[in-house]
Amino acid sequence: MCSGVLIADRWILTEAYCIASIWGPMRVILGDEWNNKTIGVHDIYSHPDFRPGKPMNNIVLVLLKEPVQFSRNIQPICLPEPGEDETFHGRYATVAGRQKLNMTEGKPTPLNVHITSLPIDRSDDCAIGVFEKVFGKNITDSFFCAGYPKRRKDACFPDSGDPFMVKVRKHWVIAGITFSNMSCKRPHAPDIYVRVEFYLDWIKRTIKQNNI
Q: What is the pLDDT of residues 41-97, one digit of tens each?
A: 999 999 999 988 777 899 999 999 999 999 988 999 999 999 888 888 888 888 776
Query: Rounded distance, CA 46 to CA 114, Å?
Result: 27
Q: Indicate the burial class of 208 (C-beta count within 10 angstroms; 0-12, 13-18, 19 or more).
A: exposed
d(CA 38, CA 28): 6
Structure confidence at residue 103 (pLDDT): 47
For residue 131, report the phi and psi dihedrals to the nearest 5 degrees.
Answer: -65, -45
| pLDDT, tens digit (0-9, with 9 covering 90-100), for 101-149 | 554 555 555 555 667 788 887 655 565 555 566 666 555 678 888 877 6
- Give 144's Cβ-side CA count (13 Å radius): 22
Structure confidence at residue 178 as a pLDDT band (50, 70, 90): confident
User: 31: pLDDT confidence band, cut at 50, 70 and 90?
Assistant: confident
What is the pLDDT at residue 109?
A: 52
Is the predicted pLDDT of residue 181 greater than 70, yes or no? Answer: no
Question: Do the Cβ atoms of 15 and 180 come closer than 8 Å?
Answer: yes
**Residue 166 pLDDT greater than 60, yes or no:** yes
In whole angstroms, what is the distance from residue 58 CA to residue 19 CA? 10
Average pLDDT of the residues of the chain: 80
Q: Which domain holds residue 10?
A: 5-210
The domain tally of the chain equals: 1
93-102, 161-170, 195-204: which range is least confident on average?
93-102
Signed CA dihedral, 58, 130, 178, 142: sign only? negative
As a whole number, mean pLDDT of residues 159-181 equals 84
Query: Ranked by mean pLDDT, which of 1-10, 110-119, 149-158 comes out on top?
Result: 1-10
162 CB-near residues (< 8 Å, 6+ apart)? 3, 95, 96, 97, 155, 177, 178
Q: Please, what is the Cα angle at 171 between 151 and 70, to 5 degrees?
A: 110
**E strands, 32-146, in order:** 36-46, 60-64, 92-97, 101-104, 107-110, 114-121, 143-146
| The pLDDT of residue 68 | 95
pLDDT confidence band for 13 (50 / 70 / 90): very high
Task: Give residues with Cβ within 8 angstroms of 147, minimum separation 6.
Answer: 118, 119, 153, 154, 155, 183, 189, 190, 191
CATH number at residue 76: 2.40.10.10
pLDDT value of position 122? 63
